[in-house]
Copies of this chain bind each other. A is one copy, B any other.
Amino acid sequence: MGLDDRKLAVLRAIVEDYVSTQEPVGSKALVERHQLGVSPATVRNDMAVLEEEGYIRQPHTSAGRVPTDRGYRLFVDRLSRVKPLSPAERRAIERFLVGAVDLDDVVHRTVRLLAQLTRQVAVVQYPSLARSSVRHLELVPISTTRLMLVMIADTGRVEQRLVELPGPVLADDVTDLRRLINEKLAGARLSETPPLVQALVEEAPTDLRPTMTTLATVLLETLVERHEERIALAGTANLTRGGLLDFQGSLRPILEALEEEVVLLKLIGETEPSTTRVLIGDENEFDNLRAASVVSTGYGPGATILGGMGVLGPTRMDYPGNIATVRAVARYVGELLAQN
């Protein structure tokens, strides 16, 4: 396809103007605001080509041009220049995250920070259990036939679960069980626990066998099967910025999608290490989000990825800015986690 440098410059100018003004941009306004060095007529010819190639389109015959999803894609891939964060923003990130007292706190602060900086909806996944290790498993007697099982992961995440035992157990038994379980599981990656749990049951002393079997079931459920992912969300009010123009007038599908953990996880949770993923409009697999874009990345200490985070907004968003912000926040949170 014959897209010379000037045509690309025109596309870039259109995207930038449209993102900031939210109005279809015409040839005249374009040459006035950017130093393209050519006349409106020439720009019009370029626009005709860009439209033919599917990068921009006209909402109405007598209106200016608007980028298509494909246009944004080209812009993101080849035209946008990295936008370094302002010192003020860097300071905001530090100030906001310093002083977090536990993992919950870190995640909540992060998601609010992202929402505030990007003025979009922010999503942060808790460190995935699948990629964590067991630091400690605690058994707390609640009654003679009930235990509270508390699992502490190396990421600081804590999961708990009430266990109904088949019969009463003594305090000493609980101590034994606790020791056996920790000897076997402490330090193991969660994804590797199933065979270990199996071994626990087999190696348990006969009198503890039934109790251990019950515990094993719950352990497997808690560690592997059940709701292993958690998510924090913030900034939904930002969806209403830009009036009703974005999202073609209805927030409904977006809000519905945001209530589905599964959807959010797919959006931000499957990022490869150290890359930033951008999903634009209908590149998204969910129909509800065909009018939205997502910028996401993974985070974690060093090169390990423990979870994802990102922002969601209208396709008409400031991609370079949001990409830079998401990256910076993710890196900072990674460093923070590495300290623990």
Q: A residues touching B (Cβ–Cβ < 8 Å)?
A: 101-102, 105, 135-136, 138, 140-142, 148, 150, 152, 156, 158, 160-162, 221, 226-227, 234-237, 239-240, 244, 250-252, 255-256, 258-259, 340
* B226, A255: Cβ atoms closer than 8 Å: no
List the B side residues contacting A161 at CB < 8 Å: 101-102
With a cutoff of 8 Å between Cβ atoms, the chain B residues found around residue A152 in the complex are 140, 148, 150, 160
Expressed in whole angstroms, the minimum distance between the Cβ of A170 and any Cβ of chain B is 17
In the complex, which of the residues B102, B158, B251 contacts A158, with contact meaning CB atoms closer than 8 Å? B158
Determine whether the beta carbon of A255 is less than 8 Å from that of B240.
yes
Contact A259 B236 (CB under 8 A): yes
* Shortest Cβ gap from A202 to chain B (Å): 25
Shortest distance in angstroms between A218's beta carbon and chain B's nearest beta carbon? Answer: 9
Q: How far is the CA of A138 from the CA of B237 in the complex (A)?
A: 39
Enumerate chain B residues within 8 angstroms of A258, measured Cβ to Cβ.
Answer: 236
A158 to chain B: which residues have CB within 8 Å?
A: 148, 150, 158, 160
CB distance from A190 to the nearest CB of B (A): 17
The answer for the CA separation of A141 and B141 in the assembled complex, in Å, is 19
Residues of B within 8 A of A236 (CB): 236, 255, 258-259
The answer to whether A240 touches B235, judged by C-beta atoms less than 8 angstroms apart, is: no
C-alpha gap A250/B237 in the complex (Å): 10
